[in-house]
Structure 1
Amino acid sequence: MVLINWEKRKNPTKEEISNFSSENDVSQILGELLMSRGLTKKADIGDFIHTDIAGLQDPFGLHDMDKALDIIDQAIQNESKIAIYGDYDADGVTSTSIMKLTLQRLGVKPIFYIPDRFKDGYGPNLDVYKFLADQNIDLLITVDNGVSGKEQIKYLKDRGIKVIVTDHHDLPDELPEADAIVHPTIPGFEYTCPYLSGAGVAFKIADALLGDDALDLIDIAAIGTIADSVPLLGENRVIVTEGLKRMADNKHVGLSALIEKCDLKINQMTEEDIGFKVAPRINALGRLANASSGVELLTTGDESFAKEIVDETEDINSKRQDLVAFAFDDSQVQIKEQKNSGVLVLKSDKWHQGILGIVASRAVEQEHKPTLVLQYDEDSGLYKGSGRSPEGFNLFDALNAHKELFAGFGGHAQACGFSIGKDELEKLVPLLQTEPEKQNFDPTGPMTKLYDLNLNISDLNFDLIKEIDQLAPFGMGNPKPVIKLSNVSLSEPRSIGKDGTHLKTDVVDKNHKIGAIGFGMYSKIDSLNTNACDVYGELGVNEWRGRKNLQLMLDDFQASAEGMKINQMSDIYIDYRNKQISGSILNKFDAIVFFNETYYEAANRAHPQVKLIMYNDSFSGQNVLVYDRPHNLDLFKEFISKNSFEHVALYFHTDLTSRYLGPDMSAMKNFLKYLYTHQNVKADGMELVAEYLQYKKSDIDFYLKVFLELDFVKIVDGFVEKANASQQRELIESPTYLKRLQRNDVEKILIESDFDSLLSWISDFCHS
């Protein structure tokens, strides 16, 4: 497991939070979250919290939007043949679907082509472009790709075919000579939301062509936006927020069937439902089959056909899950063999090409190392692979430094795809091991993550979820707030899931608990050798059989500073407080320590062969047993601080039959009032007084002794009388009362506390 250093995203003072929250009329929790996200202006706060359709921007703010519309209008008027060229992931499938439905609304029947991951590869493919040109198309519209297709687009232009590129990926050094390029980051024409997804760009074209009718497609745009992990900021928040709202009223029978198959409530859809249930199923089509069926699913009006595709999609997704599980399990041997490598290179001819990127991602999550996962393709004689890397390591730069070895290569800092020959791979592997040092990246070092709120379990409730959800939708650029629970324990941890790798537990403190789930975290329990830990996670709701319960989705747990301190102390101190002590056990210690001479003398008579000492004696012994309890904590502190030991067993014996109780102030007042209002109360007749007042005789004796010491009463000729005290006295001025308080402290800290709490106290106040 990778060690994580958790840091608070922002650390405003309580006063700053209070002032900010008051000024902006929000709760302090929401105020702190807004401040941590840099949302400090009223206008920005309003737009962020109250995201609605009014936040959609003018589509003509996008580069070449006017040109694209003129070309499409002309193609419609001329009854031209239009083709849409998309991509095989969820963003590409949703982009293609939006463009197809938009053109159909305008009376056009476009053809579309989703490249095959295995035959066509990613992005523009010249052979496919030739095929489409031979279909006598007049216009090609690319979605979620195309900006890097300079040569391929030139081919179409040379054949007299118009091309509209709609894309959002990083711009190449040279743009293609398309008739229009609709892209949010063209220099000089940067759009107000530069991080639109491919589906987002396609939706903006629909917005320009259809006006308000385009809102019927915003739910599909929301899926692509979430699936592509673009920042959920600005207009992306509007697309996702509005798309989720309108999903219940969507007119796409295929989407409704898919949501039903995922066992989701269509009128309560969240970004997590899309990200973890809907999008992976669409992505699975492109990983194992051809994703064209995904476009058919999202654009069909035939319910029975939609259900057929959904059933096929479910089967493919289940197969994808099995293939990933097999490949990842199979990779563990290679991962162990490469434990000293800075970059993992995992390969097998048994793994499916379509799931290599997922396996790489899981390996990165597990090992915190850049990872390449490859499968040998017999048809091409090349290894086809995907790479992923953790934050802090630029995988693109690392591979690009050796680009001459690749038959094909592309990607970005944290992900890439490539193909490479066998001989070149052998040359590449040792070269890659030098890259982490070049980038000052230590794969064995801790990674830094951010949390947002430091709370107690008692602070977690459904109202808090409502507060947090005001910042939804969550995703890239707007992560779901991570909560830290300090000095808590994990109770009854157990493994769940098919492979038993997931953790189900309760997070508990002294008075409260909350259920928690940690995916892939069960093995980490073995490394937690203390009860006191810090837990990090997101607050959610677990609904089961109609009942809703709070649940924490764990991101991490680790021994707290308190827990590590207790671990160190537990190597020295041993809990004997509830053990039976025999003479044979006493012989095993170098010395037996006493605080009370009465016990010391009794033990000396009973065990003359054992070394017995008083707490303030000098001695040289490494293994000692503290036999009895001190009457105040200072004596124990003195003993611990002036001596060093290898092991100390804490027995803390006493002959007292009940614990030390705090004095009952009301009872003391009643007793004093009784003495002041009654005459002839004999000092040796307190048993009758105790019986009358229904107090314990021992308590009456204690109270009387305190009153005498404070001159509240006096004894004259054997009778208790009111004294003529000339000054106000505090109870603590009574030595007897003070001693009782000290004994209460001893009882509370040394006897009643659990052993971890006792060790923490010893460490904080006594141990040196």
Structure 2
Amino acid sequence: MLVGDGLTLINWEKRSNPTKEEINKFAEEKHLSPIVAELLLERGLTDPAEIETFLHSDAKELQDPFGLHDMDKALELIDEAVESDAKIAIYGDYDADGVTSTSIMKLTLQKLGNKPIFYIPDRFKDGYGPNLDRYKFLADQGIDLLITVDNGVSGKEQIKYMKDRGIKVIVTDHHDLPAELPEADAIVHPTIPGSEYICPYLSGAGVAFKIADALLGDEAMDLIDLAAIGTIADSVALKGENRVIVTEGLKQMKQDHHVGLSALLKKCKVKLSGLDEEEIAFKVAPRINALGRLENASSGVELLTTGDASFAKEIVDETEEINSRRQELVAEAFADAQTQIVAQKDNGVIVLKGNGWHQGILGIVASRTMDQENKPVLATQFDENSGVMKGSGRSPEGFNLFTALDKHRDLFTAFGGHAQACGFSIEEEQLDKLTELLQAEPAEQGFDPHAPVVKKYDLDLTIANLNLDLIKQIRQLAPFGMGNPKPVIKLKNVALTQVKSIGKDGSHLKTMVANQGYQIDAIGFGMFEKARSLNPEICDVYGELGINEWAGRKNLQLMLDDFQISPQAAKIESLKKIYLDYRDKRLSTEIMNHFDDIVFFNETYYQAAKRSNVKAKLIRYDEECDGNNILIYDRPHDIELFKNFIKENRTQHTALFFHTDLTARYLKPDMEKMKTLLKYLYTHQNITEDGMDLVANYLNLQKTDVDFYLKVFFELNFVKIVNGFVEKANASQQRELAESPTYLKRLQRNDVEKILIESNFDDLLSWMSDYDCHC
């Protein structure tokens, strides 16, 4: 696949290659369909207990919350605070995981009878994670207990301040651990060394839900829908308990339990009956995230915790407006960035300077640019309040952005992040210096930004294989996400037809994927220009199968991940430079004399041409051909002759005429007609060989068919001629039709007709590509 400026390629590889025998054996042993069996094998899932848990995740698989580090201490502190009516503050985060974590903790404490306050940091004023000024503000409110959610494990200094003020602190987090943990009263975290939880992949909302589970028991299931949103939004691995949280959370959402969430789902036009993890990932989570990107995300917590329907509607309307504005800002900034991207086409690391870009969307611009160019990207914008450039960075797999930037930490006024993402502040003149220094980093890390990107697909199928039952089989492995990607299907040697541009800017592709009389609707985001430029008459398509519901009708639809000119199409294009289609042309002597050599397969045509005024060299098919431009005049009776010819034919240009004097198509032997004729001959007497035209009329058969069938019968000794009459022969053994030279020759002629004459030129070249020496 060509991406962006056309320099980056995608190489698709099958996730793994179990044999058909392995798949069928595994399917039979585990009582699975072959499709499900293949997908499980590709994911390395072979243990029966593991398969059962993976395919049938339910609430019974939720783990004991007290397996988490310091859970007992946290509960003791919370119980004491609730019983003494202490003032509790929740300190969250401004993304969807942080908002849902905060909402879960708030609702849990309310169910226990406490009325906590909460604080969501402002992206622009407070930055990410614990902020000392905000901690001071909360301490001044007279709080007794601070509970962090989705952050806090890196807040050693801030938490020490709270402890010095006599305030107890519970940290609940899931992010990477620092070298030194804060001195909190309890740290509930899934990866504390020595106390690693059975599911180390929990999101911040997952950790908050486990606390709710420990405090509320079965009643905590009322909150698992919020935990599912945070789990999906934060792109944690959908393994183990995370699968249970998402599966049960989606069920809970369909119960219409939370007023605010129900209003949000309705605004997103999500049908509860079809609600799945993709609806959350692409509709719900981005709207919650938009709040923290452009405004303060506190309204997200208010939305998810309110019981007032009218208030919820107000917040949802506001959220929709903010999300629409976020989309517009991203589109404008990304379009604006293209000039800089082109100017830096030779750079290994791209550094973008925003022209009035909103700081809240820098991460998205960096991410989209990275996807387009397969290079590390820093997106920056001058911040008038601080007087420095604020930035976000993203990098593809294989390049450690944190390592690259950490070498130049002295250039930043603030910096933090991990291998694939970072945030920073830097003086503008230092940014120019950093840009130059970073260009050496890809080579030092062994990262080639121009190397093909390797992506995985799961199933080799045909369009005829695609149906609603296949979707049901694939959905058995849901929920899909990080660690369990939705299966990608490869359709080989298909055509994109009815290509249309859609979307506000016309950049998206709507098309039909077609092959051998089958077709399916397909959508490709940002792929219209590629479809128009590549002329994809024969291509390999990669995509995810889904359902498009419109006006009450459900139709299969493929969401395109990529399409490439297939190796077969590449062969055809190369052969079009060599072979010319003359099959429907009228040949004159003048045209024939333009060729160096004219090749004949039939002696009759060869001798006739020798008596003509053709000046070109005339040769038989088995003679040496030394011309650069040749014409194949007639068609062979046996397709094998033509195969052998093109295996050796290395001429520069070859025109295919395939002349014949036959006016009718070659006869296709019809077994039923042959049986009818033979039965008639066996049951009737006094039929002369000259009277077969009457037999043909009586049986409603073509006279040419009857003549052909009768010759076959003679050769197989089914009938004989006695004194001019056709009689049954006394054949002593059963004979096969292929034993008849006439029948066999007719089959060979049929192959010639079907392949060389009836096929369109692309299909002919496709067939030839398997034998032609130029390939």
TM-score between both structures, scaled by the size of structure 2: 0.95
Q: Does 1:557 align with 2:574?
A: no
What displacement does 1:655 show? 2.8
Task: Identify the residue that residue 173 of structure 1 maps to in structure 2.
Answer: 179
Do residues 252 (structure 1) and 266 (structure 2) align? no
2:482 aligned partner: 476
- Partners of 2:309 and 2:716 in 1: how far apart? 91
1:645 aligns with 2:651: yes
Distance 1:557 1:649 in 2: 32
Match for 2:51 among 19, 37, 45? 45
How many Å apart are 1:526 and its aligned residue? 4.2
1:45-64 equivalences in 2 (<5 Å)? 45-64=51-70
**Following superposition of structure 1 onto structure 2, how do residues 604-683 of structure 1 map, counting pairs within 5 Å?**
607-683=613-689
Alignment of 1:510-549 (within 5 A): 510-526=516-532, 528-529=534-535, 531-549=537-555
559-568 or 612-621, larger mean C-alpha shift:
612-621
Counterparts in 2 of 1:293 and 1:629: CA distance versus 1, 3 Å: same
Separation in 1, partners of 2:149, 2:732: 95
Please tell me whether the aligned partners of residues 216 and 250 of structure 1 are also in contact (alpha carbons under 8 angstroms).
no
CA positional deviation for 1:318? 0.4
Deviations 1:697-723 (A, max 9, x none): 112222233333344444455444445
1:290 corresponds to which residue?
A: 296
2:426 corresponds, among 420, 432, 435, to 420
2:416 to 403, 410, 413: 410
Q: Is the 8 A contact 2:650 2:773 kept in 1?
A: no
Rounded to whole Å, the distance in 2 between the matches of 1:121 and 1:141 is 18
1:707-746 matched pairs, under 5 angstroms: 707-723=713-729, 728-746=734-752
The correspondence for 2:147, drawn from 141, 152, 163, is: 141
Q: Which residue of 2 aligns with 1:378?
A: 384
Matched residue type, 1:403: R
- Which of residues 136, 153, 159 in structure 1 aligns to 2:159? 153
Are 1:24 and 2:30 matched, yes or no? yes
Segment of structure 1 superposing worse, 625-634 or 211-220: 625-634
**Aligned partners of 1:359 and 1:515: how far apart in 2?**
30
Alpha-carbon displacement from aligned partner over 1:200-256 (angstroms, at most 9, x marks no partner): 111111111111111111111111111000011111111111111011324321111
Give the Å deviation of 1:609.
4.6
3-state SS of 1:94 partner: helix
* Aligned residue number for residue 74 of structure 1: 80
Does the 8 Å contact 2:648/2:773 carry over to 1?
Answer: no
Runs of 5+ unmatched residues, structure 1: none
Q: Aligned equivalents of 2:478 and 2:251: distance in 1?
A: 12
Letter in 1 for 2:375: K
Report the secondary structure of 2:627's partner residue: coil
Assess, with a 3 A threshold, how the Cα gap between structure 1 residues 709 and 419 changes in structure 2: closer, same or farther: same
Higher mean displacement: 86-95 or 4-13 = 4-13
Superposition pairs of residues 301-700 of structure 1, within 5 angstroms: 301-526=307-532, 528-529=534-535, 531-603=537-609, 607-700=613-706
Moved more, 720-729 or 617-626: 720-729
Once the two structures are TM-superposed, the CA of residue 736 in structure 1 deviates from its matched residue by 2.1
Q: Which moved more, 1:422-431 or 1:583-592?
A: 583-592
Instruction: Report if the CA contact (8 A) 1:63-1:183 is conserved.
Output: yes
**Secondary structure at the counterpart of residue 570 of structure 2:** helix
Amino acid at match of 2:665: R
Given the alignment of the two structures, is residue 269 of structure 1 paired with residue 275 of structure 2, yes or no?
yes
Deviation at 1:527, TM superposition (A): 5.2
Inter-CA distance 728–78: structure 2 relative to 1 (3 Å threshold)? closer
Distance in 2 (alpha carbons) for counterparts of 1:9 and 1:302: 48
Relative to structure 1, is the Cα distance of residues 579 and 42 closer, same or farther in structure 2, using a 3 angstrom cutoff?
same
1:327-385 CA-partner distances (Å, limit 9, x unpaired): 00011111111111111111123211000111111111111111111101122121111
Between the aligned partners of 1:32 and 1:102, the Cα distance in structure 2 is 42
Question: One-letter code of the match for 1:459?
Answer: N
Query: What code does the residue aligned with 1:429 have?
Result: T
Query: Are residue 197 (structure 1) and residue 213 (structure 2) matched?
Result: no
3-state SS, counterpart of residue 681 of structure 1: coil
Report if aligned partners of 2:593, 2:614 keep a CA contact under 8 Å in 1: no
Task: Note if contact 2:592-2:614 (Cα within 8 Å) is conserved in structure 1.
Answer: no
What is residue 770 of structure 2 aligned with on the other side? Answer: 764
Q: CA 1:79/1:675 → structure 2, altered by over 3 Å: closer, same or farther?
A: closer
Distance 1:620 1:578 in 2: 26
Q: Give the counterpart letter for 2:119 in structure 1.
A: Y
Deviation at 1:11, TM superposition (A): 1.8
Within a 5 Å distance, the mapping from 1:89-238 to structure 2 comes to 89-238=95-244
2: CA distance between counterparts of 1:669 and 1:162?
A: 96
Q: Could you say what secondary structure the match of 1:765 adopts?
A: coil
Provide the rounded CA distance (Å) in 1 between the counterparts of 2:192 and 2:30: 37
Cα deviation for residue 693 of structure 1 reads: 2.5
Q: Distance in 2 between matches of 1:568 and 1:581?
A: 25
Whether the 8 Å contact between 2:169 and 2:185 is mirrored in structure 1 is: yes
Secondary structure of 1:740's partner? helix
* C-alpha displacement of 1:105: 1.4
**Which string of whole-angstrom CA distances, capped at 9 and with x for unpartnered residues, describes residues 444-487 of structure 1?**
11111112221221221111111111111111111111111222
Cα distance in 1 for partners of 2:142, 2:739 equals: 105
| CA pair 258-606 structure 1, distance change in 2 beyond 3 A | same
**SS in structure 1 of the partner of residue 300 of structure 2:** helix
The one-letter amino acid paired with 1:303 is A
Letter of the aligned partner of 1:443 in structure 2? P
Distance in 1 of aligned mates of 2:490 and 2:542: 5
**Distance change >3 Å, CA 462–CA 530, structure 1 → 2:** closer
Q: Does 1:88 align with 2:108?
A: no
Q: What are the Cα deviations for residues 36-56 of structure 1, in whole angstroms up to 9, with x where unaligned?
A: 222212211111111111111
Q: Is the 8 A contact 2:589 2:614 kept in 1?
A: no
Structure 1 Cα separation of the partners of residues 556 and 104 of structure 2: 37
Cα deviation, residue 322, structure 1: 0.3
Return the alpha-carbon distance in structure 2 between the equivalents of residues 722 and 238 of structure 1: 77
1:724 Cα deviation (Å)?
5.3
**SS in structure 1 at match of 2:332:** helix
> What is the DSSP-based 3-state SS (H/G/I as helix, E as strand, rest coil) of the residue aligned with 1:17?
helix
Whether the 8 Å contact between 2:597 and 2:631 is mirrored in structure 1 is: yes
TM-fit CA distance, 1:595: 2.4
Partners of 2:113 and 2:715 lie apart in 1 by 103
Moved more, 389-398 or 748-757: 748-757
Indicate if the aligned counterparts of 1:245 and 1:267 stay in contact, CA closer than 8 A: no
C-alpha distance 73-672 of structure 1, shift in aligned 2 (>3 A): closer
Structure 2: segments with no counterpart, 5+ residues: none
